[in-house]
Protein backbone atom coordinates (compact mmCIF):
# COMPACT_ATOMS: atom_id res chain seq x y z
CA UNK A 1 0.00 0.00 0.00
CA UNK A 2 1.44 3.37 -1.01
CA UNK A 3 0.54 6.72 0.48
CA UNK A 4 0.41 9.54 -2.04
CA UNK A 5 0.46 13.11 -0.80
CA UNK A 6 -0.89 15.76 -3.14
CA UNK A 7 1.08 18.99 -3.23
CA UNK A 8 0.12 22.14 -4.99
CA UNK A 9 2.53 22.85 -7.82
CA UNK A 10 4.03 26.34 -7.97
CA UNK A 11 3.21 28.15 -11.18
CA UNK A 12 5.95 30.71 -10.62
CA UNK A 13 8.73 31.12 -8.07
CA UNK A 14 11.87 33.11 -7.42
CA UNK A 15 14.61 32.91 -4.82
CA UNK A 16 17.44 35.37 -4.41
CA UNK A 17 20.28 35.94 -1.96
CA UNK A 18 20.66 39.57 -0.93
CA UNK A 19 23.19 41.28 1.33
CA UNK A 20 22.25 41.38 5.02
CA UNK A 21 21.47 45.09 5.26
CA UNK A 22 18.74 47.68 4.78
CA UNK A 23 19.80 48.49 1.21
CA UNK A 24 18.57 45.03 0.16
CA UNK A 25 14.95 45.83 0.95
CA UNK A 26 14.43 48.09 -2.06
CA UNK A 27 16.16 45.62 -4.39
CA UNK A 28 13.95 42.74 -3.24
CA UNK A 29 10.80 44.90 -3.37
CA UNK A 30 11.47 45.92 -7.00
CA UNK A 31 12.11 42.34 -8.07
CA UNK A 32 8.96 41.03 -6.35
CA UNK A 33 6.81 43.81 -7.82
CA UNK A 34 8.17 43.13 -11.32
CA UNK A 35 7.68 39.35 -11.04
CA UNK A 36 4.12 39.60 -9.69
CA UNK A 37 3.11 42.22 -12.26
CA UNK A 38 4.33 39.85 -14.99
CA UNK A 39 1.85 37.30 -13.56
CA UNK A 40 -0.97 39.89 -13.95
CA UNK A 41 -1.87 39.88 -10.27
CA UNK A 42 -4.18 42.60 -8.93
CA UNK A 43 -2.36 45.74 -7.73
CA UNK A 44 -3.76 45.33 -4.21
CA UNK A 45 -2.20 41.85 -3.95
CA UNK A 46 1.14 43.10 -5.28
CA UNK A 47 1.12 46.03 -2.85
CA UNK A 48 0.36 43.72 0.10
CA UNK A 49 3.04 41.21 -0.94
CA UNK A 50 5.65 43.96 -1.32
CA UNK A 51 4.78 45.38 2.11
CA UNK A 52 5.00 41.92 3.69
CA UNK A 53 8.38 41.28 2.06
CA UNK A 54 9.59 44.68 3.28
CA UNK A 55 8.58 43.92 6.86
CA UNK A 56 10.08 40.42 6.88
CA UNK A 57 13.36 41.46 5.26
CA UNK A 58 13.69 44.59 7.44
CA UNK A 59 13.19 42.43 10.55
CA UNK A 60 15.79 39.93 9.34
CA UNK A 61 18.34 42.68 8.76
CA UNK A 62 17.56 44.40 12.05
CA UNK A 63 17.15 41.48 14.46
CA UNK A 64 18.89 38.42 12.98
CA UNK A 65 22.30 37.29 11.88
CA UNK A 66 23.10 36.70 8.22
CA UNK A 67 23.19 33.13 6.95
CA UNK A 68 26.46 31.30 7.36
CA UNK A 69 28.43 31.15 4.11
CA UNK A 70 28.12 27.85 2.28
CA UNK A 71 31.54 26.35 1.51
CA UNK A 72 32.49 26.76 -2.16
CA UNK A 73 32.87 22.99 -2.55
CA UNK A 74 29.15 22.54 -1.85
CA UNK A 75 28.35 24.68 -4.93
CA UNK A 76 30.41 22.63 -7.38
CA UNK A 77 28.49 22.08 -10.56
CA UNK A 78 25.42 24.02 -9.38
CA UNK A 79 24.12 26.92 -11.42
CA UNK A 80 20.91 28.94 -11.64
CA UNK A 81 18.08 26.70 -12.70
CA UNK A 82 19.59 23.61 -11.05
CA UNK A 83 17.19 21.56 -9.02
CA UNK A 84 18.34 21.87 -5.42
CA UNK A 85 16.33 20.54 -2.50
CA UNK A 86 15.81 23.77 -0.61
CA UNK A 87 15.29 27.41 -1.65
CA UNK A 88 18.11 28.56 0.65
CA UNK A 89 20.56 26.13 -0.93
CA UNK A 90 19.37 27.18 -4.39
CA UNK A 91 19.94 30.88 -3.63
CA UNK A 92 23.35 30.23 -2.06
CA UNK A 93 24.33 28.18 -5.10
CA UNK A 94 23.09 30.89 -7.45
CA UNK A 95 24.99 33.59 -5.54
CA UNK A 96 28.16 31.51 -5.70
CA UNK A 97 27.70 30.72 -9.39
CA UNK A 98 27.27 34.42 -10.15
CA UNK A 99 30.46 35.13 -8.23
CA UNK A 100 28.67 37.00 -5.46
CA UNK A 101 30.19 36.52 -2.04
CA UNK A 102 33.32 34.82 -3.39
CA UNK A 103 36.46 36.79 -2.78
CA UNK A 104 34.40 39.72 -1.56
CA UNK A 105 34.19 41.12 1.93
CA UNK A 106 30.54 41.56 2.66
CA UNK A 107 28.17 41.59 5.60
CA UNK A 108 26.59 38.20 4.86
CA UNK A 109 23.43 37.17 3.08
CA UNK A 110 19.71 36.72 3.61
CA UNK A 111 17.56 34.68 1.23
CA UNK A 112 14.20 35.97 0.03
CA UNK A 113 11.75 34.00 -2.03
CA UNK A 114 8.20 33.86 -3.27
CA UNK A 115 6.07 31.19 -4.85
CA UNK A 116 2.79 31.61 -6.70
CA UNK A 117 0.74 28.41 -6.46
CA UNK A 118 -1.94 27.10 -8.80
CA UNK A 119 -4.41 27.07 -5.88
CA UNK A 120 -4.41 30.90 -5.83
CA UNK A 121 -2.01 31.41 -2.94
CA UNK A 122 1.25 33.35 -2.85
CA UNK A 123 3.95 32.44 -0.31
CA UNK A 124 6.58 35.06 0.58
CA UNK A 125 9.49 34.07 2.81
CA UNK A 126 12.74 35.40 4.22
CA UNK A 127 15.49 33.14 5.57
CA UNK A 128 18.25 34.45 7.85
CA UNK A 129 20.75 33.04 10.33
CA UNK A 130 18.44 33.47 13.32
CA UNK A 131 18.65 35.87 16.21
CA UNK A 132 18.67 35.92 19.99
CA UNK A 133 14.88 35.44 20.11
CA UNK A 134 12.30 33.74 17.93
CA UNK A 135 10.32 36.08 15.63
CA UNK A 136 6.96 36.88 17.21
CA UNK A 137 4.25 39.50 16.93
CA UNK A 138 4.88 42.41 19.29
CA UNK A 139 2.54 44.56 21.36
CA UNK A 140 4.06 48.01 21.01
CA UNK A 141 2.72 51.05 22.82
CA UNK A 142 1.10 53.79 20.78
CA UNK A 143 4.26 55.87 21.00
CA UNK A 144 6.75 53.05 20.27
CA UNK A 145 8.95 53.58 17.23
CA UNK A 146 8.88 49.93 16.16
CA UNK A 147 7.46 46.51 16.91
CA UNK A 148 4.57 46.60 14.42
CA UNK A 149 6.09 44.61 11.52
CA UNK A 150 4.71 41.16 12.25
CA UNK A 151 1.38 42.71 13.27
CA UNK A 152 1.18 44.25 9.81
CA UNK A 153 2.10 40.89 8.26
CA UNK A 154 -0.61 39.21 10.34
CA UNK A 155 -3.22 41.69 9.12
CA UNK A 156 -2.32 41.35 5.43
CA UNK A 157 -1.59 37.62 5.21
CA UNK A 158 -4.08 34.78 5.53
CA UNK A 159 -1.42 32.89 7.52
CA UNK A 160 2.18 33.34 8.59
CA UNK A 161 4.71 31.49 10.67
CA UNK A 162 8.29 30.59 11.47
CA UNK A 163 10.22 27.54 10.29
CA UNK A 164 13.50 26.56 11.94
CA UNK A 165 16.32 24.54 10.39
CA UNK A 166 19.92 24.10 11.52
CA UNK A 167 21.63 27.50 11.22
CA UNK A 168 18.63 29.30 9.74
CA UNK A 169 15.19 30.68 10.48
CA UNK A 170 12.54 31.29 7.82
CA UNK A 171 9.59 33.60 8.38
CA UNK A 172 6.86 33.02 5.80
CA UNK A 173 3.50 34.51 4.93
CA UNK A 174 0.71 33.32 2.64
CA UNK A 175 -1.62 35.65 0.72
CA UNK A 176 -4.60 34.84 -1.48
CA UNK A 177 -4.01 36.21 -4.98
CA UNK A 178 -7.45 35.95 -6.45
CA UNK A 179 -9.19 39.34 -6.36
CA UNK A 180 -12.35 37.98 -4.74
CA UNK A 181 -10.26 36.80 -1.78
CA UNK A 182 -8.03 39.85 -1.44
CA UNK A 183 -8.90 42.06 1.50
CA UNK A 184 -8.20 45.73 1.98
CA UNK A 185 -9.51 47.78 4.89
CA UNK A 186 -11.77 44.92 5.99
CA UNK A 187 -13.74 44.82 2.72
CA UNK A 188 -13.69 41.78 0.45
CA UNK A 189 -13.14 42.78 -3.16
CA UNK A 190 -14.22 41.13 -6.38
15 vs 187, higher pLDDT: 15
Architecture of domain 19-72+85-188: 2-Layer Sandwich (3.30)
User: Quick one: pLDDT at residue 190?
Assistant: 44
Q: How many CB atoms lie within 10 A of CB 154?
A: 14
Which residues, in sequence order, are CB contacts of 64 under 8 Å at separation 6+?
110, 128, 129, 130, 131, 169
Write the pLDDT tens digit of every residue in 93-114: 444 433 344 434 456 899 999 9
* DSSP for residue 103: S
User: Quick one: pLDDT at residue 96?
Assistant: 41
User: Quick one: pLDDT at residue 180?
Assistant: 43
The mean per-residue pLDDT over the stretch 141-157 comes to 70
* DSSP for residue 10: E
User: Quick one: pLDDT at residue 137?
Assistant: 64
Q: Do residues 110 and 100 lie in contact, with contact meaning Cβ atoms separated by under 8 Å?
A: no
Q: How confident is the model at residue 17 (pLDDT cuts 50, 70, 90)?
A: very high
User: Quick one: pLDDT at residue 159?
Assistant: 93
The mean per-residue pLDDT over the stretch 71-85 comes to 44
* DSSP for residue 75: G
Q: How confident is the model at residue 139 (pLDDT cuts 50, 70, 90)?
A: low
Order of all β-strands in the sheet with 168-176: 10-19, 109-117, 121-128, 168-176, 159-165
Any idea where the domains of the chain sit in the sequence? 19-72+85-188
Q: Mean pLDDT for the chain?
A: 75
- pLDDT above 60 (res 29): yes
- pLDDT above 60 (res 77): no
Q: How confident is the model at residue 83 (pLDDT cuts 50, 70, 90)?
A: very low
User: Quick one: pLDDT at residue 68?
Assistant: 85
State the Cα–Cα distance between residues 69 and 123, nearest whole angstrom.
25
DSSP 3-state of 40: coil
- pLDDT above 60 (res 19): yes
Q: Do residues 188 and 181 lie in contact, with contact meaning Cβ atoms separated by under 8 Å?
A: yes
Q: How many CB atoms lie within 10 A of CB 82?
A: 13
Name the β-bridge partners of 177.
none
pTM: 0.71
> What whole-number percentage of the chain has pLDDT above 90?
47
Pairing of strands 168-176, 121-128: antiparallel
Question: Among candidates 161, 160, 159, 158, which has minimal Cα distance to 183?
Answer: 158
> What whole-number percentage of the chain has pLDDT above 70?
61
Amino acid sequence: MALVVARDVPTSSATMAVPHGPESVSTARRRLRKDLAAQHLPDVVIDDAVLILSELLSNACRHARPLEPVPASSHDGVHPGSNTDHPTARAHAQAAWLGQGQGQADCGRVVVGWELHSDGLLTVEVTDGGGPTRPRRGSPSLTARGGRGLGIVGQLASDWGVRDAPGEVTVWAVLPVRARHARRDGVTTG
